[in-house]
Amino acid sequence: MSTEGHPAEPPNESPLQDPAAPAVVQQGAEPLLAVSGLHVEFRTREGVARVLNGVRYHVDAGETLAVLGESGSGKSVTANTVMGILEMPPAAITAGEIRFRGEDLLTATASRRREVRGEGIAMIFQDALSALNPVFTVGFQIEEQLRQRRGMSRRDARKRAIELLDLVRIPNAKGRVRQFPHEFSGGMRQRAMIAMSLALDPEVLIADEPTTALDVTVQAQIMDLLAEIQRERNMGMVLITHDLGVVAEVADRIAVMYAGRIVEEADVHSIYRQPGHPYTRALMDSMPRLDQRGQELNTIKGLPPSLTAIPKGCPFHPRCPMAIDLCREKDPELLPIAEGRVSACHRSDELMRDE
């Protein structure tokens, strides 16, 4: 796959570790992918933007983890850091671990990270038109990685590219393989991106807003396709999305992000039934509901904080209707609030009691 337009390969550095912030893992089982205590800064003219502040989550084989949060919360930066395509500088990883099958990718060599990228962990980018190289055919972009990484002949790579386009249900794959990205519709480009990401049979797939700018019918088709492929291959999937309806349909667990950190993580049913963080509750309350037709939608007052000036205490407290003096002074830790659930809120126990 052509790397034009992608960030440069990060230097082979060994960031500081944060042993006090382990990923939330299942007892007795090592997760397929585990992010732990991840800190990333961007050095800008306005100052240092603390984009990720101790992010931690994990995903197992066959599981879908949905990562939710407003724009600017750090969802895509986390994904790019996991993939090893974060542009450094201006970014700098200052602490944390990213473990794939137990191996810390942040301390691995550059060549080892390239091996994992594509074959171990692959990514569907948010904007397929920007991610695909406009000067090469879709078929060539799929075939290139098969020839380079699998040593296939041109003929075999072309045959496999057609099979992959067929797999993602692109009509007339044999003819489409010779077309350029601009000759595909938005939905077909997204399918082509999925085909490219699956070419090397990854064990983990990161889908960054895979249905952005697509109509509702095409969105449903794309999500159904991803779910079907995931079941067939037993892939772990990290789904980055704003669409709470999609999350309810496909996710097993949810990690909610705010100001560069995870503020709540739990299984999808628990979070929808009873959020354990005021921010999660506000997100859920902002969903349109059929039984509230004609009423104004609920909104979260205020704006997310500037990452160059994150407020003291809980970053959400300026917008939180439940904030007390403690919230303004002390940043809450991400702690267990029930079996399999964690939340970073001084008042989570009250939320959990609130029926």
- How confident is the prediction for the chain on average, in pLDDT? 85
| Residue 89: CB atoms within 10 Å | 9
237: which 2 tokens? 């999937």
- Kindly tell me if the per-residue pLDDT of 15 is higher than 50: no
High-pLDDT (> 70) share of the chain, %:
89
Tell me how far CA of residue 203 lies from CA of 238, 239, 277, in angstroms.
11, 14, 31
Predicted local confidence at residue 294, as pLDDT: 64
Query: What's the maximum distance between 2 C-alpha atoms anywhere in the chain?
Result: 68
Instruction: Match 């052509």 to its residue by tokens.
Output: 2
- Kindly tell me if the per-residue pLDDT of 151 is higher than 80: yes
pLDDT tens column, 277-309:
999 999 888 776 666 666 677 788 888 898 888
Predicted local confidence at residue 290, as pLDDT: 60
Predicted local confidence at residue 177, as pLDDT: 93
What average pLDDT does this structure show over 263-282?
92
Predicted local confidence at residue 260, as pLDDT: 92
- Kindly tell me if the per-residue pLDDT of 66 is higher than 80: yes
Predicted local confidence at residue 291, as pLDDT: 60
> How many whole angstroms separate alpha carbon 316 and alpha carbon 165?
44
CA angle 156, 161, 162 (to 5 degrees): 100
| Residue 349: CB atoms within 10 Å | 12
Q: Which residues contact 16 (CB under 8 A, 6 or more apart)?
A: 94, 95
Residue 258 has phi, psi (to 5 degrees) of -150, 130
> How many whole angstroms separate alpha carbon 15 and alpha carbon 52?
14
pLDDT greater at residue 302 or residue 153: 153
List residues bridging with 97 in a β-sheet: 36
> How many whole angstroms separate alpha carbon 248 and alpha carbon 252?
9
> How many whole angstroms separate alpha carbon 141 and alpha carbon 25?
36
Q: Which residues contact 178 (CB under 8 A, 6 or more apart)?
A: 137, 139
* Region for 234 from its dihedrals, namely left if φ exceeds 0, alpha if ψ lies in -120 to 50, beta otherwise: left
> How many whole angstroms separate alpha carbon 208 and alpha carbon 226?
12
Tell me how far CA of residue 269 lies from CA of 16, 98, 209, 321, in angstroms.
36, 27, 21, 24
Predicted local confidence at residue 190, as pLDDT: 86
CA dihedral 144, 148, 151, 152 (to 10 degrees): 0
Domain boundaries defined on the chain: 275-353
- Kindly tell me if the per-residue pLDDT of 348 is higher than 70: yes
Q: What SS3 class is residue 216?
A: helix
Instruction: Match 């509750």 to its residue by tokens.
Output: 281
pLDDT band, residue 4 (cuts 50/70/90):
very low
- Kindly tell me if the per-residue pLDDT of 3 is higher than 90: no
> How many whole angstroms separate alpha carbon 263 and alpha carbon 332?
9
Amino acid found at 203: E
CA dihedral 49, 94, 40, 128 (to 10 degrees): 140
Range in 13-22, 60-69, 79-88, 303-312 the model is least confident about: 13-22
CA 78, 81, 85, 87 dihedral sign is positive
